[in-house]
């Protein structure tokens, strides 16, 4: 009887060890490469320009979904060990859509601050003035591009390798990085970015964004 009980204990211990090992191995093989980055401010910090509800849905749901989808899509592909920019530059189809939207949103959310510097300075301001004459002229042209873009997409300020600036209107998940340009700041004109707060008043939403774009942060991307 004692022998049977001892054997039973050994069998249970072995089963627990095996099960724990299997679970650990599964966790290692399914570990996600990309994770949802934290916001650099509280979810209510940008209100009333962008409400806490919109931030929670846009960042916590939409962006998280793109990242979760990307982690699943790249498993077993040549992109499995690539960084996000490499994936965006070289992928197509569903992988591109989710990777680009992840990158786009990370740039977008990290362009805002409740204590934003409202005007650029230094080299970035000089580059803007060179192309558009003044910061106000640039804002008018950028806002017009964001207002007039049909359907869903993004409007970007981007630079080439020499530092020359351009405004790009991109549909859906488009990012100028695929054309060899470096994105400096991007505005999301998908309806989920503003509809809860502004309904169909996209121009009003875009106008209010100028009060929370932090040109200190944007300027660092230009260097």
Residue 31 has what pLDDT?
A: 58
Half-sphere exposure of 166 (CA within 13 A, CB side): 17
All residues at 6 or more sequence positions from 71 whose CB lies less than 8 Å from its CB, including other chains: 32, 33, 34
Annotated binding site for Mn(2+): 58, 105, 188, 192
Class level of CATH domain 45-223: alpha beta
Tokens describing residue 63? 């962006």
Cα angle at 158 between 151 and 171, to 5 degrees?
15
Q: pLDDT 10s digit of each residue in the chain, 223 long?
A: 444 444 344 333 333 333 333 332 333 334 578 999 999 999 999 999 999 999 999 999 999 999 999 999 999 999 999 999 999 999 999 999 999 999 999 999 999 999 999 999 999 999 999 999 999 999 999 999 999 999 999 999 999 999 999 999 999 999 999 999 999 999 999 999 999 999 999 999 999 999 999 999 999 999 8
CB 189 within 8 A of CB 146: yes
Alpha-carbon distance of 104 to 8, in angstroms, equals: 57
* Short-list 129, 131, 176, CA closest to 156: 176
Residue 165 has what pLDDT?
A: 98
> Is 101 buried (19+), middle (13-18) or exposed (0-12) by CB count in 10 A?
buried
Residue 220 has what pLDDT?
A: 96
Residue 10 has what pLDDT?
A: 34
Annotated binding site: 58, 105, 188, 192
N-term to C-term CA, the chain: 78
Task: Break the chain into its structural domains and give their ranges.
Answer: 45-223
């Amino acid at each position: 009887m004692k022998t049977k009980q001892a054997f039973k204990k050994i069998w249970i211990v072995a089963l627990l060890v095996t099960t724990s090992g299997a679970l650990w191995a599964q966790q290692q093989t399914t570990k996600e490469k990309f994770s949802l980055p934290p916001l650099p401010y509280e979810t209510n910090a940008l209100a009333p320009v962008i409400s806490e509800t919109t931030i929670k849905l846009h960042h916590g749901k939409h962006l998280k979904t793109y990242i979760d989808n990307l982690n699943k899509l790249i498993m077993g592909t040549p992109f499995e060990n690539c960084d996000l920019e490499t994936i965006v530059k070289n992928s197509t189809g569903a992988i591109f859509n989710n990777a680009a939207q992840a990158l786009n949103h990370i740039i977008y959310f990290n362009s805002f601050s409740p204590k934003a510097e409202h005007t650029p300075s230094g080299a970035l301001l000089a580059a803007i003035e060179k192309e558009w004459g003044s910061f106000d002229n640039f804002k008018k042209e950028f806002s017009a591009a964001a207002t007039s873009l049909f359907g869903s997409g993004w409007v970007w300020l981007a630079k080439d390798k020499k530092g020359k600036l351009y405004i790009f209107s991109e549909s859906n998940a488009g990012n100028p990085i695929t054309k060899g340009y470096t994105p400096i700041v991007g505005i999301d004109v998908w309806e989920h970015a503003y509809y809860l707060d502004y309904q169909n008043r996209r121009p009003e939403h875009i106008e209010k964004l100028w009060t929370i774009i932090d040109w200190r942060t944007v300027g660092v991307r230009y260097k």
